[in-house]
Every structure is written in C-alpha cells, then in structure tokens.
Structure 1
Amino acid sequence: MSETANGCAGTTAAPAPTTVVTGSTGRLGGRVARRLAERGVPLKLLVRSPKRAPRLAAAVAVRGDYADRDAVREALVGTRTVFMVSASESADRLETHKAFVDAAAEAGVRHLVYLSFYGAAPDATFTLARDHFHTEQHIRASGLAYTFLRDNLYAEFVPDLVGEDGVIRGPAGQGRAAFVGQDDIADAAAAVLARPDDHAGITYDLTGPESLTLDEAAVVLSEQLGRTVTYRQETVEEAYASRASYDAPAWQLDAWVSTYTAIASGELDGVSDAVPHLTGHPATPLADVVRAAGR
C-alpha cells in the first residue's frame, strides 16, 4: 500500500504519527484534522483517495476504505488513537463500521474516538441512531478504550430543510432539537484527541446552546437568510408521499422521515454543557452558524 506524504519537505525527523483521523476529505473530519495539525499533533489521514486529502504540516495520507479490513489494519499499525467518523449512509453501514473496529483492534490501536449521534439507542426513533448505538456496543466489546461524541443534528443542515418555496415540511410537531455547529464539534473532538486518556470511557452529548422547534428555527432562518421561511407540519403519511418522487431506497426514506419524528418525540431535545466544557467557549447559536455559512 502506498503512502503520500503531505506537508513540508525535510520533516523526516518528525515523530511518526500515532493519531489517525478518518474522513479528512469531508467537512467534519477535515475540520478536526486541521485543528490537530495547528496544535502540532503528527497525523495520519486515512482516506480512500490520498490525492484528495488536505495538505497539512506533519501529516501523511494513507489509502484505506472502511470496508477493506486488511488495508485498514495495515494502515493503523503503530497507531495509538483513532478518530472514527461514521461511514457514508448506506444499508450496510453497520457492518462496515464493525469491520473497521475489528481492524483497529487487530492493528493494536489503543483508543477509538467515535463520532456517534445524540440519543443513540437500539429503539431510537431516528433510524440511523440505531446503527450508531450498535457501533458503540461493538466498540465496547472490542476491548479498545473509547470516547463517544454524540452530536445533535448539524446546525449547518437546517437551511437545507427549506424547500424552494421557503417552507420546511415534516412531521416534527412542536418537538425541539439542539442543533450543533460543526466547528463546535470539531473543537470538542480535537480537545479529546489531544489528551485522549483524560476522556477514556466517557460519552459526551454535543449540542448547541438552545433547543428549538422548527417554527423557531424558521424564524432564525428568515432573519439570517433575508427571506421568509416557515414550518408546515406534515403527517407521517404525507412525509413519505412527498419524498417518494426521489426514488430513494426504503431505508433512506425511513431515515429522512424519522429525522422529523425524532424531533417530535423529544429525543433530540436537551442542552448539554459538553461543548463549553471541552472547548472553553460557549456553544454557537444557530443564527451565528447560518450567518457564518452565508459569508
């Protein structure tokens, strides 16, 4: 397996990376990798395409796909700590996660920091949160030290709920969600990865500073986007029907609709102090996240 070195030439005397970041070509993993690089942490970036990995000082990119157990095991040999971003949504994502965890254990990894989901449970309303729960259970059973970061819905995702007519539609009722910014998640993850032993065996709920209904979120979006946004309640049956035209597989439709029903059930409500505790700064309000994204 080939490795592609990133960063400056003449760094051969630098310590070998003992921290691996997955998902560095994505928005969350990339944020975490950049923050660790800024702290001077030597990194290995596990990616499917090393050419797409961010170019960071004291970082090397190595090819590996979650489902390729042999390649992952080889890439992780000598690694102390791994930041595991969940794989792309798919019908077999849980099996992919299990293969990655098993490869990490076989490679001798000591600590796995897993980006999970708020309210992960075997019977969670949000269907993908069930996969996160079972991934957590597999990590616990692996014998690895672990830290679970359970983030609420991304604040950056909220504007994407708005249709072309300025309406958010879904069966969320008057339930609430504590939308959390990706920068806050990355700050928290970097803090954990910089001192992993301090956080072994701990599960952190990562939330924004307030829980909002979609009516309240629509008001925030209206103010920040400069156009009227409203929320219109759908029944579950209407939600499935309105999304049927996308011709998505059943598991994907279930995930889309259960995002809203999880809000309605109250499972995404509640504000934690994990972001300020880990990062030293307050969690970012939805308005500030949307404003920054529009710059």
Structure 2
Amino acid sequence: MTTIAVTGATGRLGGRVAARLAAAGADQRLVVRDPSRAPEAGGAEVARADYADGETVRRALRGAGTVLMVSATEHPDRVAQHRAFVDAAVAAGIGHLVYISFYGAAPDATFTFARDHWATEEHIRASGLPFTFLRDNMYADFLPSMAGEDGVLRGPAGRGRLAAVALDDVADAATAVLTSPGEHVGVTYDLTGPEALTLDEVAATITAVTGRTVTYHEETVEEAYRSRAHYGAPGWEVDGWVSTYTAIAKGELEGVRDAVPRLTGHPATSLADLLTS
C-alpha cells in the first residue's frame, strides 16, 4: 500500500483530510511541525518537518508515494518556504504532489497572496514532479467570522461576487485525488461552492440562518486600510486582507465550477446548508 503524506494535519484542512484517509484505511504519515499536536488518525505515523528546513522535509517524506502539500501560513518568505519543500520532495523521491493553491492564482492576481500560489505552482511544474493543483476559492466556513463584533462585514468588495467553498468539500476533493492520484496527473481543479454571492447576500444568509444580524458595509480602499490599522499588522499582511475584497470587487472570485461534485460525487455545499449543519 502506498504511503500518503499529509502536511498541515494540525490545521482545519489537513486534519479533515487525515480523518478521511484514516476512515478509508489508508496508510498515511502526518507531517507536522509539532508532533505533540498531531491528531489521532487511525494509528498514522507522525513525522516532524518545517517547510523552510529542507532536510527535515526530505526525511519526513522519504518513502511516501503521494503528498498533500497544504500551503504554509502567509509570510513574507512563504514562496521560499514552498520552494524549499518542493525541492526536498523531489530529493525524497515522492511520486505525486497534491498542492492546495488558490482560485485565480496568477502573477498579477489582485489578491496578493494568490500570487504566492502562482509562484509555487510554477516551481512545482519546473520540478518535474507529477502534480495536481487544487485551487480553492475562499473558505465559506470563515465568512461569519469576517463580521466584527458589531455584526458588520466591512470591505471594498463593491457588488462583486464570490463562490466560497466549504472546507469539508475541499477535504473530500483532496481525499479523492490522494487515493487515486494517477487519474489526476497534471490537472488543475478550481474548487468552489454552488453559487456566487455578493457580500450583501452573504450577510443576509448569515442573518437568516443563525439569527445573528449581520450587514455588509462597503468601504473604499482607503477606509479599509484605516479600519484595519489598529491591528498593528505589517503592511504586506494588511495588503493581503484588503486585496481579498478588491479581488471580489473585480470579479476574480465569482466563477462557479463543477470540480467539487465531479471529484466527490456529491453537490457542493451552499453557505446556507453549511451554516445549518
């Protein structure tokens, strides 16, 4: 049985995938920075690695056939970390790399962090590794938390739409690819929800389903930077936060795709259904 290595297993997506692979009886290895935080996943092997430390990655991936590479936390050096991981994966002799990318990844994407994903994809292509890219839209699970304590969802998204995808749908799709990698070599899948909503519609859905009153306030770009200044975050991070909304405004996150139902065999989850479950 081929070993599947799962990175990010202590996180929301990697942990979901690990649980699904365990339920399927897969031979898996959880690759984490802190083994003490690794979840129980059917007796899965645990290996420690840090993306920026190629030697630890190489040791952790040795003998793995397929690898799920969950993108690293946003950081000024994230692309360098990703490149180090990919190079170590090549050195370890893995057979297939499944990379969690972002919808609309491009060198000129409005969402600044999507540019990191494009650079990573290009490095993977150049590495010669067999690959599959899962380009996730924004996670629908996070939408309620984007509203402040006052119930206002603020941002310069205009009347743009986003086809946010549920984390469980992404985990189902990733599991399908990981367990049959040969069917998906060289393919890029755009993972979206079943509908593209404006933030007014997102707010209305949250209100209707949860009973918490949420509204959308359209900011200008300048207002968006000012309203986030109190966090004291570095400029590159605030650029990422604000450009999430401007990407929506420019229509870069609105296209609905059918990859989730094609890969999973079930319909993509709507925001209303997600909030109801």
Query: TM-score w.r.t. structure 1 length?
Result: 0.92
Instruction: Indicate whether 1:84 and 2:41 are aligned.
Output: no
The aligned runs of 1:66-105 (5 Å cut-off) are 66-105=51-90
Distance between the aligned counterparts of 2:93 and 2:209, measured in 1? 48
Distance between the aligned counterparts of 1:230 and 1:49, measured in 2? 39
3-state secondary structure, aligned to 1:148 = strand
Residue 222 of structure 2 corresponds to 237
Distance between the aligned counterparts of 2:262 and 2:62, measured in 1? 32
Q: 1:91-130: CA deviations, max 9, x gaps?
A: 1111000000000001101110000000000000000000
Instruction: Indicate whether 1:205 and 2:190 are aligned.
Output: yes
Residue 169 of structure 1 corresponds to 154
Structure 2 residue aligned with 1:127, among 109, 112, 126?
112
Identity %: 65
Residue 222 of structure 1 corresponds to 207
Q: Is the 8 A contact 1:155 1:290 kept in 2?
A: no
3-state secondary structure, aligned to 2:197 = coil
Residue 265 of structure 2 corresponds to 280
Instruction: Indicate whether 1:39 and 2:16 are aligned.
Output: no
| Higher Rg | 1
Instruction: Indicate whether 1:178 and 2:195 are aligned.
Output: no
Residue 11 of structure 1 corresponds to none
Distance between the aligned counterparts of 1:97 and 1:69, measured in 2? 10
3-state secondary structure, aligned to 1:281 = coil
Q: 1:187-217: CA deviations, max 9, x gaps?
A: 0000000000100000000000000000010
Structure 2, unmatched stretches of 5+, are none
Cα displacement (A) at 1:50: 1.2
Q: Is the 8 A contact 1:42 1:58 kept in 2?
A: no
Cα displacement (A) at 1:250: 0.5
3-state secondary structure, aligned to 1:74 = helix
Residue 145 of structure 2 corresponds to 160
Query: TM-score w.r.t. structure 2 length?
Result: 0.98
Q: Is the 8 A contact 1:40 1:58 kept in 2?
A: no
Residue 48 of structure 1 corresponds to 33
Distance between the aligned counterparts of 1:33 and 1:72, measured in 2? 18
How many residues get paired?
Answer: 277
3-state secondary structure, aligned to 2:204 = helix
Q: 1:119-169: CA deviations, max 9, x gaps?
A: 000000000000000000000000000000000000011001111111111
Cα displacement (A) at 1:51: 1.6
Q: Is the 8 A contact 1:118 1:150 kept in 2?
A: yes
Cα displacement (A) at 1:290: 1.9
Structure 1, unmatched stretches of 5+, are 1-14
3-state secondary structure, aligned to 1:267 = coil
Q: Greater shift after overlay, 67-76 or 123-132?
A: 67-76
Cα displacement (A) at 1:58: 4.3
Residue 123 of structure 2 corresponds to 138
- Give me the CA root mean square deviation: 0.9
Q: Greater shift after overlay, 221-230 or 265-274?
A: 221-230
Q: 1:12-61: CA deviations, max 9, x gaps?
A: xxx5x621000000110000011111111100100111121111224101
Residue 194 of structure 1 corresponds to 179
3-state secondary structure, aligned to 1:97 = helix
The ranges of structure 1 where at least 4 consecutive aligned residues each deviate by more than 6 angstroms after the TM superposition are: none
